[in-house]
């Protein structure tokens, strides 16, 4: 399934992916930009210890998937509250306690929801934000950015059209994390010359996912 199959679908619509169909990264990108929810008729198994819900409890138009390991658990819970206050639907991929877990499980859960179009954006939190960023960027269609202030948050959206944000709970305070998240969610992609460069990023990815 390519961008040609997606570009004429109504804005904000839902599209069911038949079993066995593969969706190209560019098609996923266009679906996300047009807020088209792509639903697989047969879902892959969930990664260990990481839940991938099929709907957001908040039911908001824009659903944000959020996940964290034990180091980011407390910050995740705080940011979930803020997301609800801002009017976003929240898909919590875990973890659900401060018990030690492995961050790749939760980073993958969030990234998969974004790549599949079941979440508009994704937020992942671990101790430093680095490992989760690396993990998320292994998923085709994901452009994850680790941000540490409002300037990097705005840049990652305006210049790079980032669709996943990673945060380091051990490096950032709660208030700064809230400011970063709000800026990141509200900053639009600049398009134009930036679109050409993002297309080149995605073309590199396509070379290894064919």
What is the C-alpha to C-alpha distance for residues 113 and 131, in angstroms, rounded to an integer?
Answer: 18
Catalytic residue among 40, 62, 159, 194: 159
| DSSP string over the chain | --HHHHTTSPTT-EEEEPTT----HHHHHHHHHTTPEEEESSPPPPPTT----SS-TT--SSEEEEEE-GGGHHHHHHHHHHHHHTT-EEEE----SSS---HHHHHHHHHHHHHHTSSSEEEEEESSSHHHHHHHTTSTT--EEE-SSHHHHHHHHHTT---EEEEETTTS-HHHHHHHHHHHHHPPP--THHHHHHHHHHHHHHHHH-
Residue 177 exposed, middle or buried by CB count within 10 Å (0-12, 13-18, 19+)? buried
Catalytic, 70? Answer: no
Active-site amino acid positions: 159
């Amino acid at each position: 399934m390519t961008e040609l199959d997606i570009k004429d679908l109504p804005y904000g619509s839902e599209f069911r992916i038949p079993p066995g169909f593969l969706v190209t990264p560019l098609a996923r990108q266009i679906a996300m930009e047009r807020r088209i929810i792509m639903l697989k008729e047969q879902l892959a198994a969930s990664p260990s210890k990481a839940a991938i819900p099929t709907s957001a409890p908040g039911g908001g138009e824009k659903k944000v998937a959020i996940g964290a390991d034990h180091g980011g658990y407390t910050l995740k819970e705080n940011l979930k509250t803020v997301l609800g206050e801002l009017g976003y639907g929240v898909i919590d991929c875990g973890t659900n306690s401060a018990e030690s877990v492995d961050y790749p499980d939760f980073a993958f859960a969030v990234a998969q929801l974004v790549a599949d179009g079941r979440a508009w954006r994704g937020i992942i939190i671990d101790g430093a934000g680095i490992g989760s960023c690396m993990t998320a960027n292994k998923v085709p269609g994901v452009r994850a950015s680790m941000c540490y202030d409002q300037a990097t948050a705005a840049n990652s959206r305006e210049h790079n059209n980032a669709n996943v944000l990673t945060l380091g709970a051990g490096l950032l305070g709660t208030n700064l994390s809230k400011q970063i998240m709000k800026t990141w969610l509200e900053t639009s992609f600049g398009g134009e010359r930036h679109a050409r460069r993002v297309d080149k990023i995605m073309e590199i990815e396509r070379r290894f996912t064919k």
